[in-house]
Amino acid sequence: MSLEIINHKFLDYQIDESKILKILDTIFQTEQGSFDKILIILENDEYLKKLKNQFFNQNIYTDVISFNLEDSGSSIDGEIYISLPRVIDNASQYNSNLNDEFKRIIIHGLLHLVGYDDITESDKTYMTNLENKYIELNPGVIISYE
């Protein structure tokens, strides 16, 4: 299993890959899944808006988009695109800290990769409860500003 983080734009932010691997492990053990490769790409609002429009026909800003690339029945091979400026804004808007909001977005993307959806209000509530659970199970700092 491998994790790769691509961050070419936000070089003042350091990310602890070992703590993200721990989150991955916790989720995949609990959700009875396995993963082969996860790629996390940090981008800006405009890039994710373009992806959202191109692949989901929605011309809106979003904080995270996940793409599940594996063949059915195989270990998960996925990409998670994160708008770091949107995560920073979310932390401020929801009175959260950047670290917890970043964890929430990573967990949200991973939950999509293992098959959860957030189309209905009920789905959104369920995913939020799972996000809270996995945040509590994974304390510590995964992102810091240098």
At 72 the pLDDT is 74
The CATH number covering residue 56 comes to 3.40.390.30
pLDDT string in tens for the chain (146-residue length): 789 999 999 999 999 999 999 999 999 889 877 888 999 999 999 999 999 999 999 999 999 999 998 777 778 889 999 999 999 999 999 999 999 999 999 999 999 999 999 999 999 999 999 999 999 999 999 999 88
Q: What is the pTM of this model?
A: 0.94
How many other β-carbons are positioned within 10 Å of the β-carbon of residue 49? Answer: 19
| Domain boundaries, position 59 | 2-145
Q: How far apart are the first and last CA of the chain?
A: 29
